[in-house]
Structure formats: structure tokens, C-alpha cells
Structure 1
Amino acid sequence: MSMLSNGLSGLNASQIALNVVSNNVANSNVAGFTRLEASFSSRIDNGSGWLNAGNGAQVDSVRRITDDYLNNSLWRSTSSYGYNSAYSEYLMTTEQLVANENLSISAGLDGLFSAFNSAAVEPSSIAPRQLVISSSQALADRFNALSANLDIQRTQIGEQVDGMIANANTLFAEVSNLNGKIVEGIANGGNVSALQDQRDETVKQLSQLMEVDVTRQQDGSMTISMSGGQPLVLGTSHATLSSSGGSYQVNIAGQSFDFNGNIGGKMGGILSYSANVLDVTEASLNTIAQQFADDINNQLAAGQDINNPPGAGQPLFSYDPLDPAGSIRVAAGFEPEDLAFGAMGAGPGDNSNLNAVIALKNVHYDDYNAMTGKLAIESSQAIAEMNASKSISDNALAQRDSVSAVNLDEEAMSLMKYQQSYQANAKVVTAADQLFDTLLSMF
């Protein structure tokens, strides 16, 4: 009967292997699916001696073909690419914004100083003075529009980060829920490979948002924390992220931990951009607007207008010190006669103070060009880093897939192998049955 038993064991083992292969093929297009492999062994001898030719084969387990190192590398590279892509996207937008011809402060300065130069020919004429005032307001409008666009970016960032926080909180809950199911399934001897695939895919989605450190526990659960050590998932417990007044916290088990752009991923890239680029650009723009307005106003204060009677120059620009770029404008009620182009005590045709105003031109060009040049260099570097991290991420995915993803050609070969094995074992069973019938016919 050992021949029949061996054949039946081979049939059963081949059937299990065929089921594994068919499951791999069926899931070949499922994101995050990890291929399975049947692990065979010989059945243990029952102690009947050397005359026993063996006890057949069995499938000991169906195991996931996975590599923790490759998974961790994929998650880290996914986080790095998420960070660089988000950072460079916003940075490139800002660079294009400040260089836009319709918003460029340099173009506004061109218009204003061109008007100043025209006025130098006939400093007492009203028409060129009116052009100076309208050009001044046009420049102020550019400051206002550029500042407003940066404010819009800040609003968009807040909304996007809030959305990412909500998404992250959902993913934390999913991992902790899967932890519970996996631990229970393993304890009951069940097959939890599909649950483990779901958990790995959830961690991958989470790694797009932030860099995570993953530790696998002996009971099958995962512990997840931020790169800075802040806990996110502990068994079936999970954290929640929150934001308040521009600060961000991790809340778990009654404890709160702060975090910022150092968390990596898309969320980290956006927060880093906000702190390192948007804040700096807004501050620079405000400084440029304030210094420009102060320099022009101070120089005009040193001259004489053409009012009757003549007086010291009045401020051409006004602004809110808390928001210079967003509030700069031509001072209310400012008239062409108020422009103090002449020196104190000089006649109405004098333009010596106007020449001093014109001499201020290069300083403010240099300030704005320095800001735009810095953004252009940083944007170029950020794009290069994004492309490099994209390549690394793609390679990490390819390496992970070379081990864990379904290869249909390999599965086709396995299908043929196990099919042939099944057919051969079926012949063994048939032969054993025929031999048994022959034996019975002898009596």
C-alpha cells in the first residue's frame, strides 16, 4: 500500500502547488501582491525499515517570497522621492512666479526708472510727473500681486498638509487593524499572506507621506515610528497627527510629540519648502519692498517740490510695516506737484535730487535679481535631486519585484512542472490500483 500512499501524497502536494501557482497568476496585477511558493519535504519514515521505499511527499508550508531589506529600501526610497518631488514642485512654481513678466519686480523697476529719466528732461512738467506716479503704482501693484500669490501658496500648503494628515491617520489605523488580524491569524494557524500584503502596501503608501522606521515583532505585528523616533503604530494602537497654528504634533497614548519638515516624504517636503523657501522668499520680498519705499521716500524728502509755496518732498510710497510687499502703494492724495525733484532752494527747473533718485536704481535691481537668482539655483538643484531619487526609487522597486513580484513566465514553467508531477502521480495511483486488482484476482 506504500505505492498507493506515495502516489496519493504526491497528488495532494502537486494539487496544493498548482493552487499556489494559480493564485499567483490570478494576483499578478494586484498592487503589492507578494508571490507565494509551496515548500515541499519528504514524509517521515514510519520506522518499517529499509524495505520501506519511503512515505511520499508533503507541502510543509506556503510561504511569501519576500525580503525585509528590499522592502525597507523601497519604503525609504519612496519617502525620499516623495520629499524631493514635493519640494521641487513648489520651488519650481515659486521660481517661475518671481520670474513671470507680469509679476516681475525688475520689469516694474524698469517702468518706474524709465519714467524718472523722462521726467529729468523737464522736471517741472506735470505730464512726466504723472507718469512717475502711475509707474510707481504699477510697481506697487506688482509687489502686491506677487505677495498675494505667495499667500495663496501658503493657504494651499496648509490645505494640502491637512489632507495628508487625515490620510496618514487613516493609514495608521489600517496598519494597526491589520496587525490585530495578522497576529490572530498566525496564532490560529491560518494563512495571513493576503493580510501581510495589504499591510506592506499600506506602509508603502504611508512612506510616500513620511519616512517611517518599521520593526517586525515575533508575533507578526509591525511597530512603526517616524524617522525621529516618534511612535506611530504600536501593535493595535496607533497615533493621530494634528496641526494647530502652524505647528504639528503626533498624539498617542495621551502623549504629544512635535514634528516638522524633517519627517521626510511628501509632507516633509512641503513643510521644508514652507520653512526654507516660502518664508525666506516672503521675508526677502518684504525687505526689498520696504527698503525700496524707504530709499525713494528718504531721497525725495531731501529735495524740494513745486507746490506754491515750495516745500520739502512728501513720501511717494506708503506701506504697512507688518506686510510691506502686500500693502505698498502710492501715498493717498499724492499729487504730481509733490514730487521733490529739485534741490532745496533751487528753482522749479532743477533736477539734481531727481538724479539722486535715479542713482538708487541698481541697488534695488541687485536685491531682486539676487533673490530670483538664488531661487533659480535652488530650483535646479532640487530638480536634480528629484530625478536622482526617482531613479533610486525605481531601482528599489525593480529589485523588490525581482524577488517578490509575480513573473508570469516563471509561473508558466511552474504550472507545467506541477501539472506533469500531478499526472505522473496519478499514473502511480493507477498502477497501484491495477496491481491491487491483480493481487485480488489471484484468490
Structure 2
Amino acid sequence: MSIISIGVSGLTAAQIALSTSSSNTTNAYTTGYTLQVANFSEATAGSGVQIASVDRQYNQFVTSQLNSSVSAESALSTYQTEVDQIDSLLADGDASLDTLMQSFFSSLQTLASDASDTAAREEVIGAAQTLTSQFTQLGSYLDDMADDVNSQIDDQVTQVNDLTEQIADLNKKISLTSALGTTSNTLLDQRDLLVSQLSELVDVDVSTQDNGSYTVSLSNGLALVSGNNSFDLQTGVSASDPTQSVVTYVDAAGHTTVLDDSVFEGGSLGGLMDFRDNSLTDAQNQLGILAVSLTQAFNSLQTAGVDLNGDTGSALFSVAAPSTYGDTGNTGDATLSATFTDDVSALSATDYTVKYSDSDGYTVTRNDTGASVTATYDSDNNTLTFAGMSVAISGTANSGDSFLVLPTRNAASSFTTLTTDGSLIAAGTSTGASDNSNALAMLNLQTSSIVGGSKTLSQTYSALVSDVGSTASKIAGQLQTQSSLTEQLTTLQQSESGVNLDEEAANLIVYQQYYQACAKVVEVGTSLLDTILDIN
């Protein structure tokens, strides 16, 4: 190879190196861009130089660790955003339920002082209406949050499908360039950026195939992307609980599989499901059991007393009966309807699953702990009694059928006062207008363990506020730790794959000098050739 050819090979290599360094410099702030390095090697012809490849400074292990950390951080951030709303809602001191319950019992104390005082009776009615209104407002807010969470799950599943479709399309392009013996760093960067964005939504595992394609899978191994194909997620109504959305997986044959919420451990989608299944449901049930317990205990005293008109008292409060749902996969035609019994102490702030089998008949389990619940079946009336409820069964259940019973989840939003007439408060147990014996019993409900037979109303509400606050603090602490880890991994990843402008500025000078030196080689070669030609 002539000296001119050697110099030209250097000029070509210098141009590629300068172009690579220039690209690094101009993309220093481009999201997802990976540092590129031009690799020099001796020319295959024997003399001169060539650029063997322009490679990305990419570390798959560090990137995978970073994506996992981003996924965990996103889940915690989403959970915190949601639980902070409940924490702020319950912690409003001026209008908290505890303050309003104290005001209600304070009005009963005034009534007990003079049961014939119509103004005191009206004060009780007013305090009751204010209390139930606050219950309704809080319950409705939580119900709206549940609807909003379902809506967010729908939106995020749509985003997941959009990203996986783009990743599959890039897989196709990358495998094609690989088959042609070339590599597109731009396509690789675009795909890694999409995977990073996907990790913010859901925790995924990524593996690289021989042709350079990515296989992107959920934690249970189901592939969202495999080669050129992407597989959709869908949302639908839960077969057991129509108030909740579930996510299903659609395989290549179009068959759908319902995914358990535990599949989504990370990402904002996982954070939403974790919040919904734990903090939100628990808050709804805890508020609900307060409403039900107060309703049952107070109404029991009302109907045992006498009002100002000398009549037997009637219910002051009303709350919706437990909700019951049959699983859509049931093969029998049985339906359940539930009512609360007078045994207030048996109520618990949880949901229940009722199952029927030919061998065991009807069995009941708590959904929060999975523990079995003692249930009594009356074959004569076809009723099942458990946990402070009487469940009437119509139709015939087949073995394997199951039913969901929600005693308290929707109770708070349905809590209401039935009358505006203070004379209907059954303050006494005789026809005497000044009889306050029943009013004193009503007042004692404030300090009685009427919630689950173990806690007062105030203790239950305080425990709810404390639990939500504790969860919010715990999540905030975990988020801070996870954010620090993400920051460390980002720093590590950028130290390898990020653009350092100082280094690139130095590289530009080096490659410029290298180009000038190679140009000098060509100049010398040209001069020698001219000299040889001039000899003649």
C-alpha cells in the first residue's frame, strides 16, 4: 500500500472518529443516548488503519439493575401519591370524624340533662346530620378514588401495549440490520429508552436473543415482547368483584389469562394495585364498620325506647346492607342477599368469600387473612349466619361456586340520618317526657366497645388514622431509600454510558490533530510522487 493510501486511510478513520465524537457532543443532553466509541484497528490489507466498529458504551447488567430500581421507585411513588390523599383527608382536625362524633355525643349529654328539651333534641338531630354527612363525604371520596384507580389502570395498560408494540417493531429492524452485518446504535438506543419507559409502568425481565432481539417478560414469565411479536394486556371487570378492574394477558392464539395482582410487583401499575388492594380497601372497610356499628348500636337502643310522643322509637340511622356478588364463573343459579344481625360485636372490617362444595357445603373465609370463619347454616330457612350477618340463599349452588360478601366497604358512603324530627329520639324507656334513661344508654355508646366487640368508635377511628399515617410515612421512607439507589445506579450508568463534554472536547482536539497529521502524510506522499514524476 502506498504512503498516500496509508494517509487516506488515516483521514477516513479520523473523519469517522471526529463524526462519532461530534455526535456524542451534540447528543449530550438527549434522553436515552448512549456514548459511542470509534474503535481503531490495523487495516486488513496490511498497512494503514480502519475503524473496526463504532460501539455503544453499554453495560447490560447495570442497565437492568437501573430499570429494576426505576420500577420499584415508580411503584412507591405512585403508592405515596395515593395514600397521601387519604392521610390528608382523615387528618383534617377541624372536620375529622372523631371531632364530629364527640360533638354528637356531646349533644346527647345535653339531651340527657333534660329529655323534654326540644331544643336539645333538635341539637342531637343536627349533630347526627353533620356526622352522617361527613361519613358520606369521606366514603364517597374513597369510592371515587377506587374508580379513579381503575381508570388509571386502564390508561396504563394502554401505555404498556403501545410501548411493547414499538419495542417489537424495533426488534424487527435491529434483527434485520444484524442479518445484513451492520448495527444501528440509534435503534438500540431507542429500544433501550422504550424498555426504561416500560419499566416505569411495570416490572419486566429483559433477555437478549442471538439475533439481537429483546424478549421482554412479566415477573411470571409471560412474554410481552418476543422477537417481532408483542402480546397485549387488557383490562376487564373482576369475575369475583365487579367493583374492581383486573388485567388479562392475551396470547398469540387470542386466549386470555387473568393475571393475579401479585404479578405486578413494580412500576406504577403495581403501585396502584398494591394501594387499591391494601390501604384503600382497608380505609373503606374501617370507615364502613364505624358507620355500621354506630347504626346498629344506636338503632337498637332507639327501638327499645320511647320517644317524646310516647311511641316506640324507630331507627335514627340507616346504612346500606352488605353487598353480595356471585362469581361470573359459577355454574349454579344461587344468589345471596345479606343483612346485618343484632350482634354488632361480631362485625369485622373485612370482605368475605363464601364457597360451596358438595362435600363441605358452604364455607366462609376472610379475604384479608384467608382464615376460616365459623358459619351456621339453617337448612330450613336456607340462610347462612356469620360475622354479624345473615345471608339468605336463593336457588341452588353447584360445587365450586363462590360468592363475595362486602359488609362494610360501601357502608360509609350510604350512611344517613332518617329523620329531622327531634321528638322521635327515644330518650326514655317510659312514657314520661323527662325520662332520660335511654338517652344515658345512648351516651354510654361513646365509651363502649361496640366496634368488633373490642374497640370504641374513637379508638377505631384513631387506629385508622394512625395506620394510614404510618403507611404513608413508611412508603415515604422506602421511596427516599429507593430514590437514592436509583440515583446511584444512574450515576454508575452515566459514568459508563453518558457523555462527558470535557472528554469529548479533548477527543475533538486529538482527532483534529490526528486528521492533520494524516493529511500531512498524504501531502508528503504526493510530494514524493511529484518528485518521482519530475525525474524524467
Match of 1:191, SS state, is coil
Which of 112, 121, 139 is residue 131 of structure 2 equivalent to?
Answer: 139
**Number of corresponding residues:** 431
State the Cα deviation string for residues 107-139 of structure 1 (Å, max 9, x = none): 220221111111122111111011101111111
Mapped partners of 2:490, 2:138: distance in 1 = 41
TM-superposed deviation, 1:45: 6.2
**2:218–2:263 CA contact under 8 A, matched in 1:** no
CA RMSD of aligned residues (A): 1.6
Equivalent AA in structure 2 for residue 335 of structure 1? D
**1:97–1:103 CA contact under 8 A, matched in 2:** no
TM-superposed deviation, 1:359: 1.5
State the Cα deviation string for residues 412-437 of structure 1 (Å, max 9, x = none): 11111111111111111111222222
The match for 2:58 is 66
Pair 1:91-2:68 in alignment: no
- TM-score, normalising length from structure 1? 0.93
Match of 1:243, SS state, is strand
Which of 312, 329, 335 is residue 416 of structure 2 equivalent to?
Answer: 329
- Hey, which of these two has a bigger chunk of strand by percent? 2
Mapped partners of 1:44, 1:197: distance in 2 = 30
State the Cα deviation string for residues 51-75 of structure 1 (Å, max 9, x = none): xxxx121111111110001110111
Equivalent AA in structure 2 for residue 417 of structure 1? V
Mapped partners of 2:442, 2:499: distance in 1 = 73
Structure 2, unaligned runs of 5 or more: 238-244, 323-409, 448-455
Pair 1:347-2:432 in alignment: yes
TM-superposed deviation, 1:339: 1.5
Match of 1:63, SS state, is strand
The match for 1:50 is none
The match for 2:477 is 384
**Is 258-267 or 20-29 further displaced after alignment?**
258-267
Larger radius of gyration: 1
Mapped partners of 2:257, 2:270: distance in 1 = 16
State the Cα deviation string for residues 304-323 of structure 1 (Å, max 9, x = none): 3221xx24332211221134
Mapped partners of 2:411, 2:70: distance in 1 = 40
TM-superposed deviation, 1:37: 0.7
**Is 249-258 or 199-208 further displaced after alignment?**
249-258
Which of 430, 437, 445 is residue 360 of structure 1 equivalent to?
Answer: 445
- Hey, which of these two has a bigger chunk of helix by percent? 1
Which of 165, 184, 202 is residue 157 of structure 2 equivalent to?
Answer: 165
The match for 1:179 is 171
The match for 1:413 is 506
The match for 2:23 is 23
Match of 2:220, SS state, is coil
User: Map of 1:6-155 to 2, 5 A cutoff?
Assistant: 6-44=6-44, 46=46, 55-101=47-93, 103-155=95-147
TM-superposed deviation, 1:101: 4.2
Mapped partners of 1:393, 1:256: distance in 2 = 35
**Is 349-358 or 272-281 further displaced after alignment?**
349-358
**Is 71-80 or 245-254 further displaced after alignment?**
245-254
Pair 1:193-2:177 in alignment: no
The match for 1:49 is none
Structure 1, unaligned runs of 5 or more: 47-54
4+ aligned runs moved over 6 Å, structure 1:
none
Mapped partners of 1:216, 1:18: distance in 2 = 31
Match of 2:250, SS state, is strand
Match of 1:412, SS state, is helix
The match for 1:303 is 305
- TM-score, normalising length from structure 2? 0.78
TM-superposed deviation, 1:329: 1.5
Equivalent AA in structure 1 for residue 459 of structure 2? D
1:36 to 1:372, Cα distance in 2 relative to 1, 3 A: same
TM-superposed deviation, 1:26: 2.0
The match for 1:253 is 252
Identity of aligned residues (%): 32
